[in-house]
Amino acid sequence: MKRTSVTLAMATVAVATAALAGCSSAGGDSGDEASGTYTWWDPYPQHEKDSDWEKRVQSCGTEAGVKIERTAYDTTSLTNQALLSAQEGTSPDIMLLDNPAVSTLAETGMLTTVDELGLDVSTVDKNLIAAGQLDGETYGIPIGANTLALYYNADILKEAGVDPSAITDWDSLTAALKAVTDAGHKGITFAGINTEEGSFQFLPWFWGAGADLTQLDSPEAVAALELWSGWLDAGYAPNSVIGNSQNTTWEEFLTGDFAFGENGTWQVNSAAEAEFETGVIELPAMDGGVAPAPTGGEFIIAPVQEDDSRYEVSRQIIECMTTPEGFVETANTFAYYIPPTEDGQDALLEEHPELETWVSAVQSAKGRTSDNLGTDYPVISEQLWTAVQNALSGAQSPEEALKQAQSAAEQAVNK
């Protein structure tokens, strides 16, 4: 089980080194084990030393008989710091990492597998754990997941005579948008910005049409982009969506002017506090049913250590974090994470039955790096959001934009 050789692409190391020059590492070594301290990194700097999250982490250390030294970075810095620490041999014992980055670290050889740690992942939903799989191996466990759905303004829908339960496919959604705009309201807002958030919000429509990320210019992909651009042309969505981030989109929805807003689990509390009655439905697929939405959320992983005797305690800490009760505690701490197992989801719904739609949405969701895309995903995603921009702005037709995107993605992936 001992693996100490980590191969990093020189370009990746150069980027990480440049981004983190002057940063100190908090990696584990045999000295930490002797003092009963295990190192932990996560992307939650907003949760400080006296937070419920800090207490949650420390309780799992206490249960394993050790102290946890926790360090928090923002999401991008964490990935870069992880790559740098692997190069220097100072990786932490445990890390929580945004799920699309798991395959990036796994490709370098710096992560242990769940089999090596002796972790049982048989109860984790297959669609969720797929984001942490690469070439037949599983690296870590999701601590929970968030995803996208369609929030609605119940007051507007009632006035326009729209029944949200009747929205089951693209045709019925577009008909609802026509009804609310005919009634003098605004239709739908979403995030089409030229960043990963743009791809994240477009993927439910892309996948809901039956498209695949390995073929960006398929007829199904074109249909999805024609849906979005058609909404702009008809006045059902504002031109602002071209530059909207997810936060900006939510601010638009909270004005009370829009019937629908595509957004995530993390807005549940904000929706409940809105000045109008809100509801939520799952995003519909083109011909009916639920569209797979992309998953957000972190995996708990264990980087390779020089001293592999440390893995036993790391396993205990990870198991503490991933019991059904542990998943629910994490969900309650973060207010928007859905547990990745059926037992955890059932336990959450016992406490919060109002989250049933979100549990269902997570059950239908899909990891962005699933289908063994691994480190090809960021390249493909950039071309996808570029195509969305070009089509929504009118610079190209959806078909032209996606054809160009597919060509550029193929060239980048095959370099």
In sequence order, what DSSP letters do the residues of 263-307 get, joined into one string?
EEGGGHHHHHTSSS-EEEEPPBPTTSSBPPPBPB-EEEE-B--SS
* Amino acid in position 269: N
Q: Are residues 258 and 166 in the same domain?
A: yes
Answer yes or no: is 387 within a domain. Answer: yes
Residues 216-270: tens digit of each pLDDT? 999 999 999 999 999 999 999 999 999 999 999 999 999 999 999 999 999 999 9
- Alpha-carbon distances, residue 179 vs 147, 184, 212, 225 (angstroms): 27, 9, 32, 22
Answer yes or no: is 4 within a domain. Answer: no
* Amino acid in position 145: A
Cβ-in-10-Å burial (0-12, 13-18, 19+) of 218 comes to: middle
Q: Which residues, 6+ apart, have CB-to-CB distance to 152 below 8 Å?
A: 164, 259, 260, 261, 278, 279, 280, 281
What is the rounded distance in angstroms from the CA atom of residue 330 to the CA atom of residue 129? 17
Answer yes or no: is 165 within a domain. Answer: yes
Answer yes or no: is 245 within a domain. Answer: yes
Q: Are residues 271 and 305 in the same domain?
A: no
Answer yes or no: is 7 within a domain. Answer: no
Q: Are residues 289 and 315 in the same domain?
A: no
Report whether 75 contacts 298 (CB < 8 A).
Answer: no
Q: Are residues 197 and 51 in the same domain?
A: no
CATH code: domain of residue 377? 3.40.190.10
What is the rounded distance in angstroms from the CA atom of residue 85 to the CA atom of residue 90? 5
What is the rounded distance in angstroms from the CA atom of residue 129 to the CA atom of residue 342? 13
Q: Which domain holds residue 157?
A: 148-294+373-413
Residue 223 in 3-state DSSP? helix
Answer yes or no: is 39 within a domain. Answer: yes
User: Torsion-angle region of residue 288: left (phi > 0), alpha (psi -120 to 50) or beta?
Assistant: left
Q: Are residues 274 and 153 in the same domain?
A: yes
Residue 187 in 3-state DSSP? strand
Q: Are residues 261 and 238 in the same domain?
A: yes
Reference 364, options 283, 280, 290; nearest CA is 290
Q: Are residues 251 and 305 in the same domain?
A: no
Reference 373, options 10, 4, 80, 103; nearest CA is 103
Residues 312-343: tens digit of each pLDDT? 999 999 999 999 999 999 988 887 899 999 99
Long-range contacts: 85-90, Cβ < 8 Å, 24+? Answer: 85/25, 85/27, 85/303, 86/6, 86/8, 86/110, 86/303, 86/304, 87/6, 87/8, 87/13, 87/16, 88/25, 88/27, 89/4, 89/27, 89/306, 90/25, 90/26, 90/27, 90/28, 90/29
Reference 237, options 285, 292, 286, 192; nearest CA is 192
For residue 280, how many C-alpha atoms fall within 13 Å in the half-sphere facing its CB?
Answer: 23
Answer yes or no: is 8 within a domain. Answer: no
How confident is the prediction along the chain (415 residues), in pLDDT tens digits per residue? Answer: 434 333 333 233 333 332 322 332 334 443 444 358 999 999 999 898 889 999 999 999 999 999 999 999 988 899 999 999 999 999 999 999 999 999 999 999 999 999 999 999 999 999 999 999 999 999 999 999 999 999 999 999 999 999 999 999 999 999 999 999 999 999 999 999 999 999 999 999 999 999 999 999 999 999 999 999 999 999 999 999 999 999 999 999 999 999 999 999 999 999 999 999 999 999 999 999 999 999 999 999 999 999 999 999 999 999 999 999 999 999 888 878 999 999 999 999 999 999 999 999 999 999 999 888 888 999 999 999 999 999 999 999 999 999 999 999 999 988 7
Q: Are residues 236 and 381 in the same domain?
A: yes
Q: Are residues 94 and 173 in the same domain?
A: no
Answer yes or no: is 2 within a domain. Answer: no
Report the pLDDT value the prediction gives residue 90, as an integer from 0 to 100.
Answer: 94
Number of domains in the chain: 2
Q: Are residues 284 and 341 in the same domain?
A: no
Q: Are residues 287 and 207 in the same domain?
A: yes
The position carrying tokens 């249909």 is 223
Q: Which residues, 6+ apart, have CB-to-CB distance to 16 below 8 Å?
A: 80, 81, 83, 84, 87
Q: Are residues 281 and 392 in the same domain?
A: yes
What is the rounded distance in angstroms from the CA atom of residue 230 to the CA atom of residue 236? 8
Residues 299-309: tens digit of each pLDDT? 999 999 999 99
Q: Dump the DSSP string for 51-98.
A: SHHHHHHHHHHHHTTSEEEEEE--HHHHHHHHHHHHHHT---SEEEEE
